[in-house]
Amino acid sequence: MKYRDEYRTPDAARGYADTIARITTRPWTLMEVCGGQTHAIVRFGIDQLLPETISLIHGPGCPVCVTPIAYIDKALEIAGLPGVILCTFGDMLRVPGTHSDLSAARARGADIRVVYSPLEALTVARENPGDEVVFFAVGFETTAPANAMAVYQAERAGLENFSVLVSQVLVPPAIRALLDRPGNQVQGFLAAGHVCTITGYEAYEPIAREHGVPIVVTGFEPLDILEGVYRCVRQLEKGESCVENQYSRAVRRPGNAMAQHVMQAVFQMVPRQWRGMGDIPASGLGVSLAYRSFDAEARFGTVNGEAETQGECLSGAVLRGEIRPDQCPAFGTRCTPERPLGVTMVSEEGACAAYYRYRRPAGG
């Protein structure tokens, strides 16, 4: 298969690993910030192929995982109202709120529908003019253009029964927040290629320069990731810190201008709370004033951003890259995909789900 098989060649992978080992003179710690990359690393054993001096740690790269509890609670509140249809992606159903999740609410009778795109939620609104239809819009920059387009089309169609509960987050501010955390160990980043297809990578350049960290825009196949690691290590060994684009077959420096235009028309930058990371200034998107009538928070009340509480689940530390999933005492025993304690095990893109699927402990 083109653009897949040629990036999974074992001999080439071993060649990258040997080259990385040859140029490495000291320990380096790198972080990938995409759940898709985490799954590829664990699935193909990329971290085990690298020399012991290279540590790969997993960042907050799953948009479902970082959606704060307060937004789950708000979605539950809205879904519980009469005459409301809540539309959401399937991954959100089992994400735990404070006391329940959307799957349980649906079982209790709430009209919660799984959709595969925000435009599908628009169809639900057209077909149910007597109901309020709310789309739960979550994700990184990858989903923002489609979510913005849904609002744009709703406005053009004059749909008055459609709104969006927005929990969109932005990657560059999260990288800055991780670098600013006391005790930060990350010395280089593999940036998510699909995010950069939308945004480009100009926003990463001041981060690399100001924090002295290399950032390599990287794809999702094994050779993509190994080349990303190689480029990061090469910069670190030379004392350099700039942005490189490994994923040039899909990413251009300025990104997708049309997608950015619709995002900027419908959304505006806002502070956002991240699950596991707390409040990060200017790290999210909210509905702009021009499209305020399509903002679910304007119709149903604002989200109450209460602080999270720490229970047995250590997903917050996993999302911050402070521990690996298998370092959580509950991993694979009291916490499994069938009985998850936290969101990183619930989401298919979560780091805990990746470890459980591909690196389950003996007896787990």
Q: How confident is the model at residue 360 (pLDDT cuts 50, 70, 90)?
A: low
Give bridge partners of residue 31 from the DSSP assignment. Answer: 57, 189
What's residue 362's pLDDT? 52
Residue 140: which of 109, 172, 163 has the closest Cα?
172
Say what the pLDDT of residue 308 is.
65
DSSP strand pairing (54-58 vs 278-287): unpaired
Antiparallel, parallel or unpaired: β 188-192 and 215-218: parallel
The pLDDT of residue 307: 59
Confidence of residue 6 (pLDDT cuts 50, 70, 90): confident
CB 57 within 8 A of CB 186: yes
pLDDT (tens digit, 9 = 90+) per residue, 144-163? 999 999 999 999 999 999 99
CA distance 188 to 216: 8
For residue range 187-243, list pLDDT tens digits in order: 999 999 999 999 999 999 999 999 999 999 999 999 999 999 999 999 999 999 999
Out of 39-43, 67-71, 239-243, 307-311, which region has the weakest mean confidence (pLDDT)? Answer: 307-311
Q: Is the pLDDT of residue 78 over 80?
A: yes
- How many whole angstroms from its chain centre is CA 185? 21
Asked if pLDDT for residue 309 goes beyond 80, the answer is no
Percent of the chain scoring above 70 in pLDDT: 97
Can you say whether the dihedral through the CA atoms of 43, 48, 49, 50 is positive or negative? positive
* Per-residue pLDDT at 342: 87
Decide: helix, strand or coil at residue 23.
helix
Check pLDDT > 80 for residue 7.
yes
- Angle, vertex CA 204, rays to CA 246 and CA 314, nearest 5: 90
Tens digits of per-residue pLDDT, 44-76?
999 999 999 999 999 988 888 899 999 999 999
**pLDDT for the residue 181:** 93
Asked whether residue 310 carries a pLDDT value surpassing 70, the answer given is: no
Q: Is the predicted pLDDT of residue 306 greater than 70, yes or no?
A: no
Q: Determine contact, residues 313/335, Cβ cutoff 8 Å.
A: yes
Distance between first and last Cα of the chain: 34
E strand or H helix at 245: strand 243-245
- Name the phi and psi angles at 103, rounded to 5: -60, -45
HSE (side-chain half, CA atoms, 13 Å) at 109: 4
Q: What is the pTM of this model?
A: 0.92
Q: Which helix (H) or strand (E) holds 236?
A: helix 222-238
CA–CA separation, 355 vs 252, rounded Å? 32
Mean pLDDT, rounded, for 87-103: 92
Q: Work out the mean pLDDT of the chain and round it to a whole number.
A: 93
Tokens 């509480």 label which residue? Answer: 309
User: Which residue type, as a one-letter code, is found at position 197?
Assistant: T
Query: Confidence band (pLDDT; 50, 70, 90) for 1?
Result: low
Question: Does 127 have pLDDT greater than 70?
Answer: yes
CA distances from 154 to 18, 158, 258, 299, 345 (A): 54, 6, 18, 16, 35
Is residue 364 scored above 70 in pLDDT?
no
If one compares 60 and 245, the residue with the highest pLDDT of the two is: 245
Can you read off the two tokens belonging to residue 87?
Answer: 């539309």
